[in-house]
Structure 1
Amino acid sequence: MWFGESCVGATFYVGRVVHTRSKPLKRVFAYPMRFAVIDLDSPPSWFTRSGQAGDHLSADEVRERTGHDGPVRLFTLPWAYGYVQNPISVYYSYCLGTDAGEERMHDAAGKSRKFELKTCVAEVTNTPWGERVRFNFLPGGTRAPKSLHVSPFMDMQGEWQLTATDPEEDFQLMVSVKGHPKFGDYFFAKLDARRDQSAPHARNERSGIWRLLQHACTPHRVAFWIYAEAVCLLSKGVSMFPPPGLEFVAKAACRRGEVHEIGSGDFVGMNCPLRSTWHAARAWPWRT
């Protein structure tokens, strides 16, 4: 059905992203978003049929890099009409737990089992260059070397601090830039989200007229908001920094002793508890 679909394997959330910049000027930038949390062990048909599954890690690949044996879920923006704009996606990797606060899920045989969120994997893609970095982080918070030129209004100095909560009825994702030699802790981004109770398993374009008006073509809207904010920052005189390129990032990581393998344009780094991978995105912004 065009309206009112219900796709098993994907749960939709609505939320608001807020970027707060304190240096070199104070600026708050916010926009609404409706996105999906995908069960990568049993994804909806549209996720695989559209080709989006091939743009992300599989459940087995996430388990291999995290060392956990439980379910894997992915927070991401679904493609819309062939267009993709995912500044950050996050994989949630679970294992059999022992604490009372564990989440109850069902394994492949349908048996109810308790799993605990142990490790997340951030998948960051920069705008507009389409380069990407993946790295592990702990849900309670991990400070990671800044390994991608994400914004033309930020240099490569400082570190990322990431924190995430388990996607349940509500959840949060927080990213900040810390330890910059000139600006200190000057940038903070936060997503506050809640499960869409009215249409939890329907895509933005197929969940009714109201959501069609509010959230259709979310990737296109996110791109518009990002570029509109860039124009605003330029008008206020914020300096721009050219992208150093993935080769520069890989060489810098190699000098820090983080890279243990370089080949085929991929740069794989190890810096416990992190495991990072750099590569060029397949294409942007339109998929064919």
Structure 2
Amino acid sequence: MNSGLYRGHVVHQRLRPRAHRLRYGLFSLLLDLDELDALHGGLRLLSVNRGNVLSFREADHGDGSAPRLRDQVDRWLATAGLQAGGRIRLHTMPRILGYAFNPLSVYFCDRPDGQLQAIVYEVNSTFGERHRYLLAVSTEQAREARAGGQIAQRCAKRMHVSPFIGMEAEYAFRMRPPGDADGGRLSIGVDVHDEGGPLLLATHGARRFPLTDAALLRALLFYPLLTLKVIVAIHWEALLLWRKRVPFVRRPPPAVESLTVAPSDPRP
């Protein structure tokens, strides 16, 4: 199967105006959206669109424009002038005992011939807002990624996420896409830049394991109540930044559009 389980860690390093660093371990899933029915019937600990110890709900992602998440992603690709119908893999955390909060989920979208053509970064805020950034992947970038290289992409920030980062910022993504072999590595980097240069550096590195009940049970034992810890950690780190007197940014009105389509590098 194309789907798999990943175990790794996340590191955030804030550079200005006060240095701040956090690191925590986590596990996540890489789900082929065409395999959801097979996963639902083949695993005891993980269900799709139903409650279980672990669950994946399509309604937790996308914009609700279609019942099937796969159909929504194909629609985004068509909006960007890209080809629909290829493999789509979603990297995200599942619900645990019915609860989940994913600061970032990532869709890897292939052309029908199997070549990676776009990456969609789906960002959730603690204010209940969600925004997607669809960035095209060039043929050269896809070729370099298959050879083990990274894909570099940039996009202007369109949604308020942190009360300590303003809207006049840009995301710089560094992506090493996942492979299909167990033991392979996945690397996601998201750097935030403003007029003063790099502001926040975030990296996620993980190793792939087979998506089995045994692997899920080990992940649950190693990272108990992971999704609850994520939301608690977000608010705890915000408190620490407030105590360090990092300037607070007021929340602006939400963006009208929930999808931003950009080329692989919008800068001249």
TM range (shorter): 0.7 to 0.9
Q: How many Å separate the matches in 2 of 1:230 and 1:203?
A: 35
Counterpart residue type for residue 124 of structure 1: V
Q: How many Å separate the matches in 2 of 1:271 and 1:132?
A: 15
Report how far residue 203 of structure 1 moved: 8.2
Paired residue for 1:190? Answer: 203
* Structure 2 residue corresponding to 1:93, chosen from 91, 109, 119: 109
Q: How many Å separate the matches in 2 of 1:272 and 1:227?
A: 31
Q: Secondary structure at the match of 1:137?
A: strand
Paired residue for 2:224? Answer: 216
The answer to whether structure 1 residue 237 and structure 2 residue 245 are counterparts is yes
Q: How many Å separate the matches in 1 of 2:211 and 2:100?
A: 21
Long gaps (5+) in structure 1: 1-7, 98-114, 251-266, 275-288
Q: What aligned pairs does 1:86-125 form with structure 2 within 5 A after superposition?
A: 86-97=102-113, 115-125=114-124
Q: Note the alpha carbon deviations across 1:148-207, whole angstroms, 9 max, x for none.
A: 1111111111111123222121111111112x12x32111111011113xx633388x51
Report how far residue 237 of structure 1 moved: 1.1
Q: Which has the larger radius of gyration?
A: 1
On the 8 A contact 1:137/1:162 being kept in 2, the answer is no
* Structure 2 residue corresponding to 1:37, chosen from 5, 30, 36: 30
Give percent identity, aligned residues only: 29
Counterpart residue type for residue 47 of structure 1: V
Q: How many Å separate the matches in 1 of 2:90 and 2:133?
A: 14
* Structure 2 residue corresponding to 1:134, chosen from 128, 132, 135: 132
The answer to whether structure 1 residue 174 and structure 2 residue 189 are counterparts is yes
Counterpart residue type for residue 171 of structure 1: L
Report how far residue 63 of structure 1 moved: 2.4
Q: How many Å separate the matches in 2 of 1:270 and 1:40?
A: 22
Long gaps (5+) in structure 2: 41-46, 63-68, 138-150
Counterpart residue type for residue 101 of structure 2: Q
On the 8 A contact 1:12/1:203 being kept in 2, the answer is no
Alignment size in residue pairs: 224
**Root-mean-square deviation over aligned CA pairs:** 2.2
The answer to whether structure 1 residue 80 and structure 2 residue 80 are counterparts is no
Report how far residue 26 of structure 1 moved: 1.4
Q: How many Å separate the matches in 2 of 1:203 and 1:167?
A: 21
Counterpart residue type for residue 50 of structure 2: R
The answer to whether structure 1 residue 25 and structure 2 residue 30 are counterparts is no
* Structure 2 residue corresponding to 1:200, chosen from 200, 208, 211: 211
The answer to whether structure 1 residue 147 and structure 2 residue 158 are counterparts is yes
On the 8 A contact 2:164/2:247 being kept in 1, the answer is yes
Paired residue for 2:147? Answer: none
Report how far residue 18 of structure 1 moved: 0.7
On the 8 A contact 2:4/2:211 being kept in 1, the answer is yes
Q: How many Å separate the matches in 1 of 2:242 and 2:59?
A: 36
Report how far residue 91 of structure 1 moved: 0.8
| Cα distance change of structure 1 residues 207 and 27 upon mapping to structure 2, 3 Å threshold | same
Q: How many Å separate the matches in 2 of 1:242 and 1:61?
A: 32
Paired residue for 1:279? Answer: none
Report how far residue 231 of structure 1 moved: 1.6
Counterpart residue type for residue 82 of structure 1: G
| Cα distance change of structure 1 residues 21 and 203 upon mapping to structure 2, 3 Å threshold | farther
TM-score normalised according to structure 2 size: 0.76
On the 8 A contact 1:59/1:71 being kept in 2, the answer is no
On the 8 A contact 1:117/1:166 being kept in 2, the answer is no
Paired residue for 2:44? Answer: none
| Cα distance change of structure 1 residues 9 and 207 upon mapping to structure 2, 3 Å threshold | farther
On the 8 A contact 1:137/1:273 being kept in 2, the answer is yes
TM-score normalised according to structure 1 size: 0.71
Counterpart residue type for residue 235 of structure 1: R
Q: Secondary structure at the match of 1:243?
A: coil
